[in-house]
Amino acid sequence: MPAPEDAPPADPASVTEAEPPVPAAPAAPAPAALAVPARRPSRAAGSVLATLAVLALTAASAAVTVAVGKPDERPSAAAAPLPAASSAPASASAAARPGAAASPSPLLTLAPPPAPGPRPATTLHGSVDGGTHGGDLRYFFVPVPEDAEPYGSADGFKLTDEELVAEYGQKDIIAVLNSYGFKQSVERMYRTADGRADVRIRLVHFSSASNAAEFVTNANYKADESFDVGGVAGARGFLFKAEQKAFTGELVAIASKGDVEIEIEIEAKGDLDKGLLADVMKRQSDRLSSGG
């Protein structure tokens, strides 16, 4: 969670993880005072819904692995019975059982798994008029790539006030958001086809384009590196390095399009792909512009 620039310095142990942006509230009306957000786990574990989805997916995968990963449990082929002892010559025995030597033992064959079916079409509706968005905000999510795996519903989900408080880690976040004319927030997460990265998109709807832009301007992260995100005007990026190679690092980008604020988060081990971050941000911004 970002803290306002005029907040007291945080304990060093509390800034090793990326935090959702908590911009300073606009001058009028004045919101409740902001406190330095408490430290919380990494983003992948920070959202209760996302965690449950990951656990469910992991459990399902584990079950499949157990089912097909134990060849010792596979029924073995029955051995062909040995021919009864006979005093007849070997040539006569072979002639009496034509084709016996050529007939293989029955083998168990496994059919390949069925190809995944098409994802159900969304039933959500939305509209955009200039910079004003109406309808279900989830309608404006950029489609999940065909080869990616969404966590939970591909439509995403709406965040309740309680979930926002848990996500931002401070009790007065709703008052802060309301000071910008907050309407609703939605979120969706998916894993890339190569399994290397988790992508989270959060959209926050405000009462006007100016409030959304001001929210982005005032948002700040205590990151290891900040940078401009190409392709979208005013988009800013932040890098959070992993503490060790085997740990997860994070990239975050924020921008606004009309009356909606965009947050893109990418978590991955190893090298973090700023190109992927810029691509997702560009496609999400275009989706909010066109509405389709």
pLDDT at site 42: 38
For residue 144, give the nearest of 165, 175, 118 by alpha carbon. Answer: 118
Reported as a pLDDT band with limits 50, 70 and 90, residue 107 is very low
Q: Which residue has the higher pLDDT, 70 or 237?
A: 237
Give 20's pLDDT tier (boundaries 50, 70, 90). low
Identify the band that residue 58 occupies on the pLDDT scale cut at 50, 70 and 90: very low
Q: What is the pTM of this model?
A: 0.62
Three-state secondary-structure class, residue 88: coil
Q: Which CATH architecture has domain 15-60+135-290?
A: 3-Layer(aba) Sandwich (3.40)
pLDDT at residue 175 is higher than 50 = yes
Give me the DSSP letters along 175-212: HHHHTTT--EEEEEEEE-TTSSEEEEEEEEE-SSHHHH
Mention every residue, 6+ apart, whose C-beta is less than 8 A from residue 9: none
User: Mean pLDDT lowest for which of 109-123, 147-161, 210-224, 239-253?
Assistant: 109-123
- 216 has a pLDDT exceeding 70: yes
Task: State yes or no: pLDDT of 235 exceeds 70.
Answer: yes
**DSSP designation for 89:** -
pLDDT > 70 fraction of the chain, expressed in percent and rounded: 58
Contact in structure between 262 and 254 (CB atoms under 8 Å): yes
At residue 50, the 3 state secondary structure works out as: helix
Is residue 66 within a helix (H) or strand (E), and if so which, with residue range? helix 48-68
In three state form, how does the secondary structure of 16-48 look?
CCCCCCCCCCCCCCCCCCCCCCCCCCCHHHHCH
**Which is more confidently placed, 254 or 62?**
254
CB-count exposure of residue 7 (10 Å: 0-12, 13-18, 19+): middle
Q: Where are the domains of the chain?
A: 15-60+135-290
Q: Which distant-in-sequence residues (6+ apart) come within 8 Å of 193 by Cβ? A: 145, 147, 148, 149
pLDDT tens by residue, 144-167: 998 899 999 999 999 999 999 998
The tens digit of pLDDT for each residue in 191-202 reads: 999 999 999 999
For residues 136-141, average pLDDT: 96
Look at strands 126-129 and 132-135 and give their pairing: antiparallel
